[in-house]
Amino acid sequence: MSEESIVLATRGSPLALVQCELVRVFLGECFPGTDVSVLKLTTTGDQRKDWSLEEQGGDGLFTKELEVALLEGKADIAVHSAKDLPAVLESGLDVVGYLPRDSVHDILVRSHSVRKPKIIASGSPRRRAQARIRFPDAEWVDIRGNVSTRLEKISGGFADATILAAAGLKRLGIDSWPGLSFNPLDLEEMVPAAGQGAIAMEIRSNDRTRFENIGDSETGLAVRIEKLLLKKLGVGCHSAVGAHWIDGEFLVYHEKSGFKRYEVKDEGKEELEKAIDRIIGDLETV
């Protein structure tokens, strides 16, 4: 493709398109005069709304088609919610950078008429595992669809509550919904998914020099540490594991050991690897 143009691959959901527009504007500032266009694609996860992400594993369901477009030269950058990216990328691909991270919190969205939800809709093993601590007697049902579809389902009585990412709601400009209450969850109540709140820009590895030094370095460091934990645990992005690193503090939720807090400093790749290995050893001794 021409060096004077950049093609962005994205899913076609409302949130994905908003995130892609943020990247398009960002790249326009990084590469003045360069034409930045958008290629909208439908992923397997978008098509198979009947699938349970927990049963299917989830890895690659919302990213594979975008990565194929990169490898086939149809796009230059794939735009992802970083939490959807597998910890191990396809050969020949790399994440070149991230936009500055937004809120990492989750939001408990519940019906106004319900104080303690009896039926909670979520397909996320991570959210289910942590919310069961607060709502041990609740029944859980799966829910799929974009953000507005989920909100419509809850307001329509499909369930008493659901849990959504604060960053997605903010990017869509949604801070209220008729008949529903939005309750932010503390990090100790709900440790976010690795990469939550970050927008990733994925490229072909041999294009790294073209796009070198773009993105927010602090966000990149945090997401790399969080994804490294998933990689070493051998679990996917839709596992019952929460991971959030900021300023040397690493909050981890593991379904076997619960909530943990660790000190992990940025002292180079080798020391980070050792620190994560120590954490895994601690998690697995419970």
**25 CB contacts (<8 Å, ≥6 apart)?**
none
C-alpha span between 237 and 194 (Å, rounded): 7
Alpha-carbon distance 6 to 113, whole Å? 49
DSSP letters, 127-173, are HHHHHHHH-TT-EEE---S-HHHHHHHHHTTS-SEEEEEHHHHHHTT
Task: Report in angstroms the alpha-carbon separations of 63 from 13, 44, 89, 160, 274.
Answer: 13, 9, 10, 30, 30
DSSP 67-112: HHHHHTTS-SEEEEEGGGS-SSPPTTEEEEEEPPP----EEEEEET
Block residue for tokens 């690193």: 245
Calpha distance 246→106 (Å, rounded): 17
Catalytic residue among 46, 59, 76, 84: 84
Q: Is 247 a catalytic residue?
A: no
Active site residues: 84
